[in-house]
Amino acid sequence: MSGLLIPALTVWLAAAIGADLASVVAERNPERRARKALDNAALALKAARQAYLQGETSALRSALDEVRESVEVAYRSLKETGRDPLRHPRPFKDAEIKTRDLLKRISHLRDEMAYQDRELIEPLLDRVAQIHEDLLLSVMGKKSRR
């Protein structure tokens, strides 16, 4: 019985995550949108891990795409705020912390994967690392003297 339940649950979770990203994008407040998008990325990463453990490559690909899209939505949303990360660092620092956590979890998933399957996750790892570095540098940048 649980053999049928787990794949069905994985498919349902992947569909729910896709619907959740649409509601995240609909959020009007960019800071809240960024926070929700990163939460959605964490859920999508859990779904990706489940899909990999079940051997469902198509579900794995869609969940990894969902993680990438969610992180990019969060990054764009923070840029849309127009706020200076040095003067108002809170949302940028929160996003930096969450992307660092995502990087760790993505790396753990990559380490669990077979060597030939790692090509699926490497582009995601590179993109999230790039966004994390941009967020970190924006928060830790030099303050101008007045």
- 31 to 67, 77, 106, 128: CA distances (angstroms): 18, 7, 24, 18
Domain boundaries, the chain: 2-140
pLDDT digits (tens, 9 = 90+) for 10-50: 555 545 545 588 889 889 999 999 999 999 999 999 999 99
Residue recorded with tokens 């453990």: 53
pLDDT digits (tens, 9 = 90+) for 65-108: 999 999 999 999 999 999 999 999 999 999 999 999 999 999 99
Rounded to two decimals, the pTM is: 0.83
Interhelix angle 57-80/2-26, rounded to 10 degrees, is: 20
